[in-house]
Structure 1
Amino acid sequence: MYDIRPAAQDDLDAVLAFVLRLQADDAHHIGYLGETLGDLAAELAEFEPDWASCTVVATDDSGRVCGALSIEVDTELNRAFLHGPFVDVPVNHPAGSRIWDQTADALYVRAAPLLDGVADRELLGHTGHRRLAAFAERHGFAAARPCGIHVLEGDGLRELMLREASCPRTGPAREMRVLPTDRAVHEAVAVLHERCFPKTYLSGRSLVDGSRKHTVVVAMDGGRVLGYASGKAEPGEFYLDFVAVEPDVRGQGVGAALITELVWKLAESAGARPQAAAAILAGNRSSRRLFERLGFRLHLELVSYRVGKAA
């Protein structure tokens, strides 16, 4: 059995190295922290107050890091996100499954103080990660609908950058804006977000107040908000996390224009990236068709596990 202890800042390089290796294997892929060292480091760097204070690790007799679990708590939502448990077991070890299960359970128990008072907890893993599914079941987490990560790269991304990004002019004074803008637009975007993505990891208020450092582009028709798209420039990609369009103007090209405009703005502010990525819930055919028309392809499928969900 590995030794379980709070992480130290000096553990970061070792944790990044073995998590990066595990992320490359569907059977061990947890969350969508990215697939490069820069992606992982950027994600962990956003933890508050610092990475080590939010993490527990497992080490073997030589002190080598063999497991890790990081806890990210959103105080506004009173909701915790588990980045892990990641467990490194020897290849073809006859007791590999037992080692993984016992280490994952021990990491979760050791992380209990980090979860104190937060009953709503969520973790995200590849649909092929059977050990994680069993871990979730043991600890009372229920599985939600799978989510597909769709990516656009190479010539497809270059073609998107060459598209006409203006909002289709099928009505008067249609235009694109980038937040921050006036208060009425903020409120309209927040309301649309809550309506289209209820109880997601990001509230409408956090989306528009700038605290999460999202870039948000808005399609306008005079003073009316038709839709919005939001995302971030990560070290290895442009990540597009939300796209929403009012029902009465869907199918008119507004969504495609928003995606194009968002990618442009992210590239303008942060420079080029090798790919763009978007998460789409299984069964959301309209969103999938929208992204597929723009050239995005399915890269991997993740499933969310959640316990203590608020009513």
Structure 2
Amino acid sequence: MPELAIRPGVEADLDRLLVLNNAAVPAVNELDRGDLQRFLKIAPHFQVAVIRDRLVGLMIALAPGLDYGSLNYRWFEERYDGFLYIDRVVVDPDVRSAGIGAALYRNLELVVRERGISRLACEVNLRPSNDRSLRFHERLGFRGVGTQDTENGAKTVQLMVWELNR
């Protein structure tokens, strides 16, 4: 595989990232350009994966205390003091299973350890099922801490945390 680079996202990336994100529904929620622009402004971790100048992945992680309406984000805010919430990870289907997601997570782990953050939080769909993502997160060290129905019962998610100091 050609060399992979992980770098901060910039405004010029948003159109391509919007296509990648919305092609990944229902694993992630659909966004519009304004949503991505807001994430770019508020997310302490907005990283993209690039191969040969082509954007092939995205990871957005949010700190506590933001005005963000996600039920899953709020679930963690109500229960944990410190964490970084992984709102979305998207990988271009053309390079799926090439280690892009793992590279994005390794990059995030390095960043949060440098910042002294000891807990990562995320959710994975149980309904509709995303077994591949669930296994991936469990291999990294995430463990289930709850479940929640969202989208008026259309989805059920497994809420997960990774305690990095353990």
TM over 0.5: yes
Looking at structure 2, the residues matched to 305 and 229 of structure 1 have their Cα atoms a distance apart, in angstroms, of 22
Confirm whether residue 218 of structure 1 aligns to residue 62 of structure 2: no
Match in the other structure for 1:304:
150
User: Identity rate of aligned residues, in percent?
Assistant: 28
Q: What RMSD in Å do the two structures reach over aligned CA positions?
A: 2.5
Structure 2 counterparts to residues 84-95 of structure 1, below 5 A: none
| Stretches of structure 1 lacking an aligned partner (at least 5 in a row) | 1-169
Match in the other structure for 2:34:
205
Decide whether aligned partners of structure 1 residues 212 and 266 sit closer, same or farther in structure 2, where only a CA change above 3 A counts: farther
Can you list the C-alpha shifts for 1:166-216, whole angstroms capped at 9, x where unaligned? xxxx21x42111122x61x22111211122136837545322444661221
Higher Rg of the two aligned structures: 1
Match in the other structure for 2:97:
251
Confirm whether residue 186 of structure 1 aligns to residue 21 of structure 2: no
Match in the other structure for 2:85:
239
Q: 1:303: how far off?
A: 0.5
Structure 2 counterparts to residues 138-149 of structure 1, below 5 A: none
Amino acid at match of 2:36: L
- The total of aligned residue pairs comes to 133
Looking at structure 1, the residues matched to 118 and 57 of structure 2 have their Cα atoms a distance apart, in angstroms, of 27
Once superposed, which parts of structure 1, at least 4 consecutive aligned residues long, lie more than 6 Å away? Answer: none
Looking at structure 2, the residues matched to 237 and 211 of structure 1 have their Cα atoms a distance apart, in angstroms, of 19
What TM-score, normalized by structure 1, do the two folds share? 0.39
- Whether contact under 8 Å (1:216, 1:262) holds in the other structure is no
What TM-score, normalized by structure 2, do the two folds share? 0.68
Looking at structure 2, the residues matched to 211 and 217 of structure 1 have their Cα atoms a distance apart, in angstroms, of 9
Q: Secondary structure at the match of 2:22?
A: helix
- Whether contact under 8 Å (2:83, 2:120) holds in the other structure is yes
| Stretches of structure 2 lacking an aligned partner (at least 5 in a row) | 65-80, 154-166
